[in-house]
Amino acid sequence: MEYLYHILILISMYGILALAQNLVMGTTGLLTIAGAAFYGIGAYTAAILATKFGFNIFSTLFIAPLAAGLIALMVGESFARFRDDYFMLATLGFLMIFNTVARNWEDFTGGSYGIAGIPKPHIFGFVFDTPLSFMWLSLVIIMIVTTITYFISRSSFGRVLNAIREDEDALSVFGYKTSTYKLLVFAIGAALSSLSGVLFASYLTFIDSNLFTVNESILLWAMVILGGLAKNRGALLGALLLIVIPEGLRFIGFPVEFAALLRQCMYGLLLVFLMLYRPKGILGTYKL
């Protein structure tokens, strides 16, 4: 049963990341690779505050989104005027800068050695130190994030984001300052992504810079595209499939020396067939 709890925790954490990525990329049409950076910012904020300053992980669930959101506002101020490939390259540059800082600022981030001994969350004397209790905590947080993204997508703000995705120039003609909306959704996505980082740091009790690379951002892209762009259900479905399928392939019995490679090949083939025959994703209505 503990293995099942572990899988549900992973689905919850990556589901949060996929929902945040979908809000920025699917709903608004912003091609961002910065998801792993804000994921890492949340993890490092929780780890540093908990291990160096004695903060409860629960309090970092509020502090980390504020930190990630503020950083996103600062860097996004210069990104908001970019579009399409230029925006993507700018966010890639930010991810590379974050990873370089995390790898070299040894006094705070531990450098290449990372940060170990991150405590589990606790509240009113109850410690979430078992897979079952941590699973419930993760499920509660993903329900909160799902509710937030649902109301954003159904609000007037969400309709403006959809319009930016469809035709930003036409929207500007009607007096909307699209750069402001892009900046706000970029910050919201960053804040939501950081929640997953806090959970990840506390669950694993160890982090280092190698956990927050461009490969993680590509995985988030795959989740959102697989499930279906601009659909919260699609983002959750993509996270579910791309966590469960590789785990399921563990039990097929591949030779140890080829197991990881064969799993990656099967995973890649799944995405290729999907792009050929269902480019909108499983539940999507919008094609990237």
* 267 pLDDT more than 80: no
Work out the pLDDT band at 281, boundaries 50, 70, 90. Answer: confident
What pLDDT does residue 229 have? Answer: 87
Mean pLDDT of the chain: 90
Q: Give the closest residue to 40 by CA, choosing from 90, 106, 115, 107.
A: 115
> Helix or strand or coil: residue 253?
coil
Work out the pLDDT band at 6, boundaries 50, 70, 90. Answer: very high
112-116 contacts at long range (C-beta below 8 A, 24 or more positions apart): 112/208, 112/209, 113/208, 114/206, 114/207, 114/208, 114/209, 115/44, 115/47, 115/48, 115/51, 115/201, 115/206, 115/207, 115/208, 116/205, 116/206
* 266 pLDDT more than 80: no
**Token pair in block for residue 153:** 């997508």
What pLDDT does residue 260 have? Answer: 60
What pLDDT does residue 254 have? Answer: 60
Q: Which residues pair with 206 in a beta bridge?
A: 116
* 190 pLDDT more than 90: yes
pLDDT, one tens digit per residue, over 92-126 is 999 999 999 999 999 889 998 999 999 999 998 89
pLDDT, one tens digit per residue, over 193-238 is 999 999 999 999 999 999 999 989 988 998 998 898 888 999 999 9
pTM: 0.94
What pLDDT does residue 32 have? Answer: 94
* 278 pLDDT more than 80: no
* 67 pLDDT more than 70: yes
Cβ-based neighbours of 172, under 8 Å, separated by 6 or more: 178
Least trusted range by pLDDT, from 39-48, 184-193, 243-252: 243-252
